[in-house]
A and B are shown apart, each in its own frame.
Chain A
């Protein structure tokens, strides 16, 4: 009797789960989904776009990637307006400004277009879901921890950021500054925050300037893929190579040669391909009316498995990965 109840409830449970899974996997076919990166044709966003396009293809949708070639919010607004005119089912974007995009994104949502942000969020009322590459906390603390390890826990260091307005960069820097107040980091001193504007040459020159202005500099964190690669390129030819510890957020393909020649010991990043992939699945889940973006909604994102929407429509991809000599050859993006 007892056994039968257990068996029965197990059966019901399985059936329930199966039907739940079935419901969750009914993505609409032929969805028109557009990827709108911060800047088009830079390696990082090409990878996120490709991840997104792969997901849209898996789902039998019509995907495309469009975007501005400068980092201005206003150029992104005109793309959003164009996507509205084209009647896309969903827009998947990395925002260049937390607020400037909101009015046009609201117009998009008013016309039934679903909006998912990834990489850099907009104000909550401007989108349904935000795919966070990792908790800001995890990234900022991870970067400080990694640099502290590389610098032996003491010395002067600088931060080479992207633009002064970049939402994610500023959040990380703020957390880093708080983190430095901990006793473990009492011998580390942040001497300068420089801005390379996510521009290769500007970042290169800023790195040059940092090394000249601070002769005792022991470390640099550049939490931007453009910045860290440009900084590494300068450092690799400078006499400070091996003395100044450079780390940051970079892609394995950009950083491979600098890891191999000893310019950089270790750096971190999430997998941007997975980030775009997850964001596109979230968009498709919204456009298929599987989820609305409220806390507790769940959806299945192909090869990445099941995700749950958290507070304020946030979905976290996962913890960042540290790349070094030992593992870098396992990655290609």
Chain B
């Protein structure tokens, strides 16, 4: 039953994605052009990347609010090392390592000291952003070689698919397989639903959580590399506030904030839905304020609609139960 409900929400989201595409095409003839769709999807590639690891973290009933700051930190590290004369591939590896370390630090505080992830990552949200400024100051490093910036805002040869989104799809498929087809993935649901029971069942809860936070740091750093090349600019203030967009998308995707429920497919569909709606409305000159309101309403709707449906179902079942009794 639970599984079917979930699938229902995902199907709804996918239908909404197509409805949004269709409405976008009706609103503006420029919407369905390859170049517009390229911009539009490239625009949310960082949110999409981080949403993958955020989905896993929220499924185990934790949260990581430091993702955008980790992105900024890794972008600053990449920029600073490049400016210092490091070869770019090496600077990328270092930026990813810094992200993984940031995630490890979060994870250790949460799993070894037993601190709540909400509190820890609010702290490191500020800490990592501060470190980003320590690393790069107010400088913007921009003179990356064209090869790398082309990776950031280029498309796969012969297609309108932005390279960052292609990367995202590969990682999304891996995440789907890991989450839904491996013992490790299934254990996440058990941990999220009831960590105590999971521990008694022999799952190494703390170790699993630790690995998820490292993964989250790594994905944020990867998003930082993508962001840096996509905007051809490494800055300490890159992607301020992005974490809320990521969490909004994951929750809209049907992942329960209380853990134990949700899927990658839902989260991915939600990222696309929000991105497409934003892109289409911007194209017809709807103001930024209205866009923010729309995103907010979508999010509230995503909590409200399944809840109302649930109430409606219980109501109908009760009526049916009563009816059965009458027949008896």
Hey, which bits of chain A sit against chain B, CB under 8 A? 40-41, 64, 66-70, 72-75, 77-79, 81-82, 84-87, 97-100, 102-104, 123, 163-165, 170
Contacts and interface: CB of A to CB of B under 8 A. Distances in A.
29 contacts: A66-B287, A69-B289, A69-B292, A73-B231, A73-B233, A74-B227, A74-B231, A74-B238, A78-B39, A78-B282, A82-B36, A82-B39, A82-B283, A86-B28, A86-B30, A86-B283, A98-B140, A99-B140, A100-B140, A100-B235, A102-B142, A103-B153, A103-B232, A123-B142, A164-B137, A164-B138, A164-B237, A165-B140, A170-B138
B283 A72 contact: no
Contacts of B289: 41, 69
B288 A68 contact: yes
A74 B153 CA distance: 13
Interface of B: 28, 30-31, 33, 35-36, 39-40, 43, 133, 137-138, 140, 142, 149, 153, 227, 231-233, 235, 237-241, 279, 282-283, 285, 287-289, 292
A75 B237 CA distance: 13
B233 A97 contact: yes
A195 B69 CA distance: 19
Given A40-B288, A69-B289, A103-B149, A85 B30 contact: yes
Contacts of B30: 85-87
Q: Which 3 A-B pairs have the closest CB atoms?
A: A99-B142, A164-B138, A100-B233
A210 B311 CA distance: 56
Nearest to B39: A81
A72 B153 CA distance: 18
Nearest to B31: A85
A163 B138 CA distance: 9
A242 to B, nearest CB: 33
A72 B240 contact: yes
A85 B39 contact: yes
Nearest to A79: B282
Most chain B CB inside 10 Å of its own CB: which residue of A64, A73, A85: A85
A163 B237 contact: yes
B287 A78 contact: no
B153 A40 contact: no
Nearest to A81: B39
A35 to B, nearest CB: 12
